[in-house]
Amino acid sequence: MEQSSGLRIQHVDLAVGDVERSLAFYLTVLGPLGLREWQRFPSYRGTEEVVYLSVGEQDQYLGLRAADGGSHRYYEVGLEHLAFYVDTRAEVDAAHERCREIAARVQFPPEEDKDIEGFYEMFVFDPDGHRIEIACRPVLDDPQKPTLTSRGE
């Protein structure tokens, strides 16, 4: 079986309690890192909009759509966390500072990962409890060295 080299995630939609509240959170925390509102579409139900945010320059998007009700519970069935990579530790630190300024619920402040040398990360919960990771990974001199995306297989 041939493996495609072009496979990537095109978009992820999050069901949220309040689209505008979530939009403000994501633009505040990740906007300075390049996240931008891209487009609004009517939902398939036609009663509200889905807001898509552009993630970088790779035709990748984060969608925010109104939930039908209920609440997200961390570590129950569903999305465990959504990770964003940045280029520098300073960007991780600045995102953490923005989280503090808006009193977001930070789970883990910036720190180096215990298992991956040079991998610097933080975790924060969005207004609906979705866990968001913002991380900077090292450029490896040894391409054979295992990383989060390459376990040396």
Q: What is the pLDDT of residues 92-130, one digit of tens each?
A: 999 999 999 999 999 999 999 888 888 999 999 999 999
List pLDDT tens digits, range 27-39.
999 999 999 999 9
**Token pair 């320059």 in the structure block, residue:** 57
Instruction: Give the predicted TM-score (pTM) of the model.
Output: 0.84
* Distance, CA of 81 to CA of 93 (rounded, Å): 19
Secondary structure (3-state) at 83: strand
* Distance, CA of 153 to CA of 151 (rounded, Å): 6
Token digits of residue 147: 């990383």
**Token pair 């079986």 in the structure block, residue:** 1
Residue 118 DSSP label: T
10 Å CB burial of residue 51 (0-12, 13-18, 19+) is buried
10 Å CB burial of residue 30 (0-12, 13-18, 19+) is buried
Q: Are 123 and 82 in contact (CB under 8 A)?
A: no
- Residue 53, Cβ neighbours under 10 Å: how many? 21
What pLDDT was estimated at residue 68?
A: 85
- The single-letter code of the amino acid at 107 is Q
Domains of the chain: 11-68+81-136 (3.10.180.10)
* Distance, CA of 78 to CA of 62 (rounded, Å): 16
List pLDDT tens digits, range 39-89.
998 877 666 789 999 987 778 999 999 998 888 888 888 889 999 999 999
